[in-house]
Structure formats: structure tokens, C-alpha cells
Chain A
């Protein structure tokens, strides 16, 4: 079975800290790796990564993919309480429509 493993499962940080979320996977053939932020109900899209070694940035968030070592990281700098959420690492597989393989998520709690 394809696996997407996220670590840590949860963490608590103070505002202003930097967090690094890890995602390792066992799938070698996939279309893209996606990161989502899930606060209350719906996951909201953060990044899509397809190429190894190219960093994607959006404000205080950044992410990179390493296809050789089969992992991705999501960094959040200068964390704010609004960053508190579950962060999902998801693989879009190479079947006909890109079926998604979800990691279990990392719950981030940012305290004031």
C-alpha cells in the first residue's frame, strides 16, 4: 500500500517560532505533492510541488521536494496564532485522474 508519513503528528510552538513539518513517502511514481492547511473543515490549498529541489514560497510559508530522498518539508517562519491548523501532505498519484494519497497530518498549535 502506498504510504505518506508525516512527522511530527503534533507540535506546540510560541508565536514567532519557526516550524518545520516533514513528509516522507514510499510512492516513486506520482504527479505532484500537495500541501494543504485544514483549520475547521475544508483543506485549503497551499503548494503543489512537482520538481525536486525547487522551493515554493508564499509569504511566511515555503516548501521543497526531494525526489531522491523521497520527502518534502513545509516551513513556517515567524508563526502566528492563525497558523494553528492541521497541515496535510498529499500525493497526487499517476492513475487516470490523479487519485490522492493523504498523510495523517501534523497538528500545529501556536500559542500567544
Chain B
């Protein structure tokens, strides 16, 4: 299985500011994904991040709000821009590694005041 780390693990931010979350994988993977989990909800896919191409966003998510970088096959960042309290969530990166299994990073718990 892949070992995935995320930074920061948690943060408390003021509304109107931006936060960049980093995701590092211990091996090269083609596809990385960013998910959001709002309180009491299941996971929702934000976007798919492939190295060398622009991220593909799901319905309801836009690049201006959630810009993503994927500079190489082991690293990605997700920025939550111009935050509001509604952005308070757990943000998770994941990778598809061996076959059909997806592994998740430890998550970033974001609270926006």
C-alpha cells in the first residue's frame, strides 16, 4: 500500500484567507484525488489531479476556489481560497495504487472562523 502524508493536519483560519494543503506520497502514482468531508457527511470528490495536465473538477467545484497543483508524480497541493465558515471540513488526498484500491491520506481538518 502507499504511504501518504498531508500537511497541515489541522488549521484554524480566518474567513477571507487561503490555505494550501500538501499531499506527499512515498511512490510515484499517476492519479491523485482530493476529497472533502463536511461534518456528518460522507466524502465528496473535489477534483482529480494528474501530473502534467490540469486538474479535472467535479460538479460544484471550480478552479478559482480550489486551485490544485501537481508538479510531479509524488506530490500535490490543494488551496482553499477566500475561505468562509462553509469551507470547514476535512480535506483528504488519495491515490489509486494497486489495481482498484484507493488509499487515503491522514486528512487535514480545517476550521474557518
Q: Which A residues have a C-beta under 8 Å from some C-beta of B?
A: 31-32, 34, 36, 40-45, 48, 50, 88, 92, 97-100, 102-105
Contact = CB atoms under 8 A, between A and B. Distances in A.
State which size class the interface on B falls in.
Answer: 10 to 19
Interface in B11-41: 31
Nearest to A47: B101
Interface of B: 1, 31, 42-43, 45, 48, 90, 92, 96, 99-107, 109
25 contacts: A31-B100, A32-B99, A32-B100, A32-B101, A34-B100, A34-B101, A36-B104, A40-B107, A41-B92, A41-B106, A41-B107, A41-B109, A42-B92, A44-B104, A45-B102, A45-B103, A48-B99, A50-B100, A88-B42, A88-B43, A92-B102, A97-B31, A97-B48, A98-B102, A103-B42
Chain A at the B interface: mostly helix, strand, loop or mixed? strand
